[in-house]
Chains A and B, each alone.
Chain A
């Protein structure tokens, strides 16, 4: 049960600004994901929230209480580390029960709570083992179990899945989210993987070079990226972002684009929205240079002059290599960005059919 509020939080290491004016409110029970490339400030933000790093300026509130300068142990948060940080010299049971022991609970009660939490994560049979005897996936569960047994106000996750193999990752992220929903604890989750962000988050905070790029629900982020970075970061393969001028003479495109200064605008189209039409009926012509099969679909790489565009189509609709094709896309799936600042321009333009 906790709300979290970051108020103009900054973190500098000497000359380098790691986090620049993070301002965010997280509602009680919400699952917020911080995502971005390495060095973007997401982990630093998490650590400031945990109390492991000092805040340079700004304040952090938990449930209206200013915890900016409080010790980690006073904040009642549990964290799952990237490398799990299981105490190597203790058994799994001792690892899980350690925080409870510190709170001076009786041995019987500790044992009971530990076994209950272990049941929840299906690791009850591992309680007497040592961390070095466990597999990666088992260790991850123990780390999560250690966090939940404490009944904290907030869960913190620092890239907990990045050390697992891909199949395990898929199942684990579902389990984590399900667990969190069941327990209803406010959670802050850090990852560099945008799929994890999209699938798990209630809201996403995208960061780059210390600055917040956008805060929003997965749908908002996906359908209305605030700038070219967000647009290119979310989605796999990423959104095609090209200078408007490269797509062909403006006259050939929508008349509503005619008013736009072509040299100052970038256009964004998601690969899944690109389709192939006959050359004669298309405003944009491209030549296919590469085709990647990824299952039922294909990724088709095509060149428009010096620019590259990727389309994602079902296999039967894919052209052949070196073929010259025409490209088309729905009018309401176009995103326009200012070429110099990268920021989104106005609403989606709806081009008449």
Chain B
């Protein structure tokens, strides 16, 4: 008897579920966004894979050439320098762009409101400036003959070194300018994260006997870790976007390939050589490289992040 009842009950539920109407409204609201993303992000990505594996032909079918484009990119005379520089750029940027803003943000956090606002505005200003403008101004500040720094140290009998024309230092100038530009923005992100930390914790730790360094290391950094992860990822993304402009304006990849990188290489393939296959292959390589970096970051960091 009970079994029959159960059977009746389940079939009734199933029928009711089938008759219940599916609510289409979320789909309708999401549709435009999904369409845009599909059209401008995912479709080009698929095309990219296609373009990297085929040779375009105006007067006939495209020819499948497999890994030829990839080999061509790897064979590029500047490829090794470009790949090496890309890694240097990303990994050296991180300490300056991700870690340096932490103590700066903490410093501003402990100031009063007025002074804090002044510093926030002053440090954020470079982020708002156009990178082209920033690059040109920095060229002129660093110029060893007429630049701002030379005019200050010249009377003291010192000579500004040729930082942008020297193979050893050019890339660090680019990294430095990029960092200078982004630090203010990351400070604001950290300040947002800090605002969620109750001052009680800091006071409790001070009474426990902690000095500034201990408070930073054992309290602020752990509680800030979700923000740090976010800043790390967004910094890598921003850095990639920014990595073209200063080089195009300041050094065009030189001197002696010391500032070229994978992104600049793809640009050159596409816009200076119109080599679609190579640039697609190069772009795909960059995509994979970044994917690896971010995956590694997420796996490694997730263990350390504390979500309260």
Contact = CB atoms under 8 A, between A and B. Distances in A.
Q: Give yes or no for direct A-B contact (beta carbon below 8 Å).
A: yes
A79 B222 contact: no
Given A81-B200, A88-B223, A89-B223, A99 B206 contact: no
B206 A89 contact: no
B5 to A, nearest CB: 43
A6 to B, nearest CB: 19
B234 to A, nearest CB: 23
A14 to B, nearest CB: 12
B201 A87 contact: yes
A85 B204 CA distance: 7
B288 interface: no
Interface string B185-219: 00000000000001011011111111100100011
A102 B209 contact: yes
A77 B203 CA distance: 12
A315 interface: no
A98 B204 CA distance: 11
A81 B306 CA distance: 23
A185 interface: no
Interface in B201-250: 201, 203-211, 214, 218-219, 222-223
Given A83-B200, A85-B200, A102 B308 contact: no
A98 B219 CA distance: 11
A98 B208 contact: yes
Interface in A91-129: 98-99, 102-103
B201 A132 contact: no
A150 interface: yes
A73 B251 CA distance: 53
B211 A89 contact: no
Nearest to A132: B308
A72 B219 contact: no
Nearest to B202: A85
Contacts of A102: 208-210, 214
Contacts of A48: none
A73 B209 contact: yes
A45 B143 CA distance: 58
Contacts of A87: 201, 204-205, 219
Interface in B264-308: 306, 308
A337 to B, nearest CB: 40
A78 interface: yes
A52 interface: yes
B251 to A, nearest CB: 44
Q: Which of B207, B208, B308 has the most CB of A within 10 A?
A: B207
A50 interface: yes
Contacts of A73: 206-211
**B201, B203, B219 — which one has the most chain A CB atoms within 10 A of its CB?**
B203
B208 A52 contact: no
The size bracket of the interface on B is 10 to 19
B203 A52 contact: yes
A79 B219 CA distance: 18
Contacts of A103: 209
Interface centre among A52, A78, A85 (most CB of B within 10 A): A85
A85 B198 contact: yes
A220 B128 CA distance: 66
A88 B204 contact: no
A204 B39 CA distance: 73
B207 A79 contact: yes
Contacts of A99: 208-209
A288 B306 CA distance: 62
Contacts of A85: 198, 200-201, 203-204
Given A73-B209, A102-B210, A79 B204 contact: yes
Contacts of A89: 222-223, 306, 308
A3 to B, nearest CB: 20
A88 B198 CA distance: 11
A78 B308 contact: no
A67 to B, nearest CB: 13
Nearest to B221: A89
A71 B207 CA distance: 9
A128 to B, nearest CB: 16
A295 B204 CA distance: 42
Q: Which of B200, B208, B223 counts the most chain A CB atoms within 10 A?
A: B208
Nearest to B203: A52
B222 A150 contact: no
A142 to B, nearest CB: 12
A71 B203 CA distance: 11
Given A83-B200, A87-B201, A87-B219, A77 B308 contact: no
A87 B207 CA distance: 13
Nearest to A82: B200
B196 to A, nearest CB: 11
A150 B198 contact: no
A50 B207 contact: yes
19 contacts: A52-B203, A52-B206, A52-B207, A71-B206, A73-B206, A73-B209, A77-B207, A81-B203, A83-B198, A83-B200, A85-B201, A87-B201, A87-B204, A88-B308, A89-B223, A98-B218, A102-B210, A146-B208, A150-B208
Interface of B: 198, 200-201, 203-211, 214, 218-219, 222-223, 306, 308
Given A72-B207, A83-B200, A87-B204, 19 more contacts: A52-B203, A52-B207, A71-B206, A73-B207, A73-B209, A81-B200, A81-B203, A85-B198, A85-B201, A87-B219, A88-B223, A88-B306, A88-B308, A89-B222, A89-B306, A99-B208, A99-B209, A102-B210, A146-B208
Closest 4 CB pairs of A and B: A99-B208, A85-B200, A85-B204, A73-B209
